[in-house]
Each structure stands twice: as C-alpha cells, then as structure tokens.
Amino acid sequence: MNRLERALMHALFVHPHHNTDKAIDFGIFKKLNEQVNILWPDSLLVGPDANDDAAVLRMPNGELMVAKMESHCSPAVPRPYDAAATGAGGAMRDVVAMGGRPMFLLDFIGTRPLDEEVLVGPCGFKGHCTCGNCKVMTSDERVNLMVKGISDMCKAMGVFVVGGGFSSSFSDIVPALVVAVIGPLVTDKPLTKPAKNVGDKLIIVGETGNDGNDTLYRAGLVDELRPALALFEEERTTMEASLAAIKTGKINACSDLGAAGIGAAVSESTRFGGLGAKVELSAVPTKMQLTPEEIFICETQARMLFQVAPQDVEEVLAAVHSQGAKAAVIGEITDGKEAVFAYNGEVVARIPHEAPADL
C-alpha cells in the first residue's frame, strides 16, 4: 500500500468524516422516519441512510427540496474566513449534486468567550506559534471573520442567510462552524451518487489546484493542515455550469468534489454502485503544474463530477462550456471492484471497495 492509497483509504474507511455510520446509529433515524412516514407518506425521497450528498424531500404542495448540513470546524483554526466560506460553498455544491439550486442557508457558530484570545494560523492547534505566521486575535474578531466568509459565499452564490445560532460558551481550541443549505430541486427526480452503468464517462467540471490537504493531515502524513482556499466567482460558474448540464437530463450520477478530492468522489461512487472505474489524472484540468498526488487528493473547491453515457458526452460538455466553465473527460466506469488511478498511463493508486486488513 503506497502513501496515496493509505491516505485515501484512511479517509474512506477509518476517519469519521466518511464513516459517520460508525459513530451514529442511523437505524434509529430510519425507524423514526418510517413512523413519521405514516403521517407524511412519500415525503422523504433520500434520507440520512442513503450515503448520498444531501437529503431530498417532498413538500406538502408537491415541490421537491434538497437539504444539506455540513460542519467545517477544524479548518477554522488555521483559516477561519476560508473555512467558513468553503463550508458554505461545500454544502451548496452538495445541494447542486442532487439536482437542486441552493437558496437558503442557516448557520451555527460556537466559540470561546468573545474577549478571550485565540491563535489563528498553522500553529493554532498547538496553542503557541513556532512558525512566525500566526496571528493572535480575540474570539470576537475570529467570529466576525467566519461570519464574513459565510456572507461572501452566499453573496457570490445568490443564497439567503435566513437564520442560525450562536454560542460563546465553548472552551475548545476548535470552534464550531456548521451550515445548513436548502433549495428546490430543478430536475424531475434527484440525482444520486452511486455509479450506474459500465462504460459511462467521468467528466470533471472546474480546475484543480494544490490547496486543501485535509486528507493527508488526518492520515498523519503531513504535519500542517492547509485547508482549501475559498473560491467565489469559480463556485458560481461551476454551479451554473453544473445546473445547465443537469438540465440536459443526461447525467446518470453526480458528486461534488470536497473532502479527499477526486479520489474520494470516484471511489465512493463506484463503491456504492458496486462497480469500478479507471481514471487518467493527467487529463484533469489544473490551475498549475501539479504532482499526481496533488491532482488525486487535493481538495480544491468549485468542482463537480458527472457520469455520462458516451453518446451524451458532447452535449453535456457543451452545456458546461456555455456557462464559461472548464471540463474534461478523465475516465470511465468499469465492471471491476476497485477504482484505478493512473498518471500518463502509469497506475499510482488502486482503491478497493473494502478496507484492506493492514489499514
């Protein structure tokens, strides 16, 4: 098992971010929802046990809505502004990935008492700076950076902030940063993450950079957490391009690219669909010269992944390009039982559907 494989498989099979079912008994929620379904029949189309990007529900008037809640707490230690903006943007992309347009946002921020000092920067988790690049500020100042990050992302994406919550009674180094996004479905039925068809082509929307090393950090492979940078115009472009592509009716499966980047988006889709994939990382549009590892696992924002039948690729690409976004075919779905990632034809990672014994 090489470094890349270990990092991604740690994310997919060990870390709670991708394994909430190990911490939460979703069976309790499923039983509850079955009981509530008696009162509101056929109102929950995609629920918490579906392992998908967001929930899809039917309102009493028949309209379909998409809802997503996401936390971005640890990244707020080194980069509170970017963490808040990317937390909001990531939840919005999850709504888009189901075929919805984000419209409303609620947030919750929890922090230390407002007059206490906090350390913001690479050494924030240690509580004292050794790099010379950190900044000491009050908890109040940090909160305002987080609020501005959320506000700026909502402004860029055309999303209302409709409410939320706040607490200054936290004592931990890590503040709480949680957002929930709700919006209407713009398709007849929701898109879902699992791979559907052997031979479908994988299309990535947006450009990949070298920011966002959360997955390597969580796996203990790097010493410094460098969260993804907030992108605003790019997020709006990707959203409009994705919705234009979705409205063609030719998207068979969809996933946004957030935690663990391309590696997770492809591997989770194939795992949940019981299929395989082969990906050529050198085909991915990039912002700069990147290593195969960076392309594979960096968590650059404003990206989406579609699965499209071969005969529909040109139509989908045309829809994406009509909104000014970059896109490329980077691979295809196979009948295998693993996702295989290559760079210039040389395999750099194989990600199975089950955790290996030595993980």
| Phi, psi angle pair for 74, to nearest 5° | -60, -40
The CATH number of whichever domain residue 340 belongs to comes to 3.90.650.10
**Confidence tier at 128 by pLDDT (50, 70, 90):** very high
Residues 66 and 171 in one domain: yes
- Does pLDDT of 219 surpass 80? no
| Boundary of a domain, candidates 184, 211, 235 | 184
Q: Token pair of 206, please?
A: 């947006």
Provide mean pLDDT across the span 104-121. Answer: 97
Asked if residues 336 and 284 have their Cβ atoms less than 8 Å apart, the reply is no
**Confidence tier at 46 by pLDDT (50, 70, 90):** very high
Beta strands in 99-227 (DSSP E): 104-110, 117-120, 135-138, 160-167, 176-184, 201-205
Residues 148 and 222 in one domain: no
Sign (positive or negative) of CA dihedral 196, 202, 208, 213: positive
The confidence score (pLDDT) of residue 40 equals 96
Residues 59 and 146 in one domain: yes
Number of domains in the chain: 2
Query: Among the residues of the chain, which ranges form H helices?
Result: 3-13, 26-39, 80-97, 139-157, 214-218, 233-246, 261-273, 292-297, 313-321
- Does pLDDT of 258 surpass 90? no
The CATH number of whichever domain residue 130 belongs to comes to 3.30.1330.10
The confidence score (pLDDT) of residue 15 equals 77
pLDDT in tens, 55-94: 999 999 999 999 999 999 999 999 999 999 999 999 999 9
Residues 180 and 207 in one domain: no
Residues 239 and 178 in one domain: no
- Does pLDDT of 336 surpass 80? yes
Q: 208: which DSSP letter?
A: B
Residues 305 and 167 in one domain: no
- Domain that residue 317 falls in: 201-352
Question: d(Cα 359, Cα 354) in Å, to the nearest integer?
Answer: 11
| Boundary of a domain, candidates 118, 152, 184 | 184
| Boundary of a domain, candidates 158, 184, 210 | 184
Question: d(Cα 331, Cα 342) in Å, to the nearest integer?
Answer: 10
Residues 209 and 344 in one domain: yes
Question: d(Cα 304, Cα 87) in Å, to the nearest integer?
Answer: 16
